[in-house]
Structure 1
Amino acid sequence: MNTSIVIADDHPLMLRGLTDFLTSKGFNIIGSAEDGNTAYNLIVKLKPDIAILDIRMPNKTGLEIAEACKKNDLSTKIILITFDKEEDVYEEALKFGVYGYILKEFAVEEIETCIQHTLIGKPYFSQEIASFLNHNNSKKPKTLELLTKSELKIVKLISENKTSQDIADVLSISVRTVDKHRSNIVSKLSLDNKPTSLAVWSNSNKDFL
């Protein structure tokens, strides 16, 4: 397994623990850092496939690094690990196009699955995060009212990690039609055009679909 990874966390035990665990699983840890500036510089210099970042670090937070990577069109995929369950932090992570959002208490159990999802372009978020947010915000997102019945069917299938070809097969329509619907949905929801944006949005709202 040649997946290259940079890990950053200002808690040495967490940093060492994740590094040792992922190394034992065959991942290539090419750099580590205990602060945000060092982490971002490593991402720019080494161009890892994935960066696993603590959200709250000195100098630059994980969110600020994710924002900088998006702004500068860096190809490294971001996974955030955190103790935070605040909704605004989670929404910021979605806005910056992160691929994974994992609670630290479940990091060892979930990180390998999260990386596997990330490598094939599928977002992964701790189920505990989704459960917490749904418990604290049970109202159906108003943005869903903007979508047609056909678009809602497609969003639901996207939340189940279906590809455009899968969706075409399920709905008995062409891939071209699916892609046209996807484009319309992205426009209506005011998402950016990154391939993962709609998948992340659908995943975070799957309980309402």
Structure 2
Amino acid sequence: MNTSIVIADDHPLMLRGLTDFLTSKGYNIIGSAEDGNSAYNLIIKLKPEIAILDIRMPHKTGLEIAEACKKNNLHTKVILITFDKEEELYDKAKEFNVYGYILKEFAIEEIEMCIKHVISGKPYFSAEIASYLNASTLEQKPDTLNLLTKSELKIVKLISENKTSQDIAEELIISVRTVDKHRSNIVAKLGLDNKPTSLSIWANLNKAYL
């Protein structure tokens, strides 16, 4: 697990907890910060593959850092951790190409799964978020599922369980390329946009029908 990671949170206990937990799991934590300016400077200097950021920090928020990374074409993938459940923040996270968005109460439970997704190039947004946010633009009627083949339904179900393309390929004994092709077909059939998070959110919202 040589993926380089920077962590920033203005709550010392959360910062220490995440750092110690991920270090114990073998992740390469190359820097940490307690405010947004310091975090952004670390990203510029160290160029980590992943930055795990509190959404609200002094001087610069996690969202502002994500926006700056996008604007300046930095390749660091941002994961936000937050207590906030407002739709506006969630929409901003998607706009700024945030790869992960997890609630703080589930941070220790979900952070490894989130990192695994991000490393593989897939977004991870806590399933619980769908319970709090109005994601009406992605809601579909159950009969929309009739558009999908049996193979595509299997893949959507696994996506709703937050499994990566690699996980799905191994479980269904097919190639990752085949999984990604199915994902593209599913997005087209459901009329979703091409944002990397859209299918994951749709699958979570419609999990009860899968």
Q: TM-score, normalised by structure 2?
A: 0.74
Report what 1:6 is aligned to. 6
Distance 1:180 1:25 in 2: 33
CA deviation profile, 1:135-172 (whole Å, cap 9, x unmatched): x5567559xxxxxx58xx97995756675xx7xx9xxx
Distance 2:125 2:183 in 1: 25
Identity %: 63
The 8 Å contact of residues 8 and 34 in structure 1, kept in 2 or not, is answered as: yes
Report what 2:48 is aligned to. 48
The 1:15/1:184 distance shift into structure 2, 3 A limit, reads: same
Structure 1's unaligned 5+ residue stretches are 143-148
The offset of 1:181, in angstroms, is 6.0
Letter in 1 for 2:105: E
Secondary structure at the residue paired with 1:122?
coil
Q: Does 1:204 align with 2:204?
A: no
1:20-59 paired onto structure 2 within 5 Å: 20-59=20-59
1:25-104 paired onto structure 2 within 5 Å: 25-104=25-104
Report what 2:109 is aligned to. 109
The 8 Å contact of residues 3 and 27 in structure 1, kept in 2 or not, is answered as: yes
Secondary structure at the residue paired with 1:205?
helix
The offset of 1:131, in angstroms, is 2.1
What is the Cα-based RMSD across aligned positions, in Å?
3.7
The 8 Å contact of residues 100 and 123 in structure 2, kept in 1 or not, is answered as: yes
The 1:154/1:105 distance shift into structure 2, 3 A limit, reads: same
The 8 Å contact of residues 187 and 199 in structure 2, kept in 1 or not, is answered as: no
CA deviation profile, 1:166-203 (whole Å, cap 9, x unmatched): 7xx9xxxx97x879869979xx86657xxxx3xx1211
Distance 1:111 1:54 in 2: 13
The 1:154/1:75 distance shift into structure 2, 3 A limit, reads: farther
Distance 1:183 1:205 in 2: 10
Distance 2:164 2:40 in 1: 32
Secondary structure at the residue paired with 1:10?
coil
The offset of 1:132, in angstroms, is 2.0
CA deviation profile, 1:71-125 (whole Å, cap 9, x unmatched): 1111111100000011111111111111111111111111111111111111111
Report what 2:130 is aligned to. 130
The 8 Å contact of residues 7 and 32 in structure 1, kept in 2 or not, is answered as: yes
> When the two structures are aligned, how many residues end up with a matched partner?
194
Q: TM-score, normalised by structure 1?
A: 0.74
Distance 2:105 2:5 in 1: 21
The 8 Å contact of residues 94 and 201 in structure 1, kept in 2 or not, is answered as: no
Distance 1:141 1:105 in 2: 26
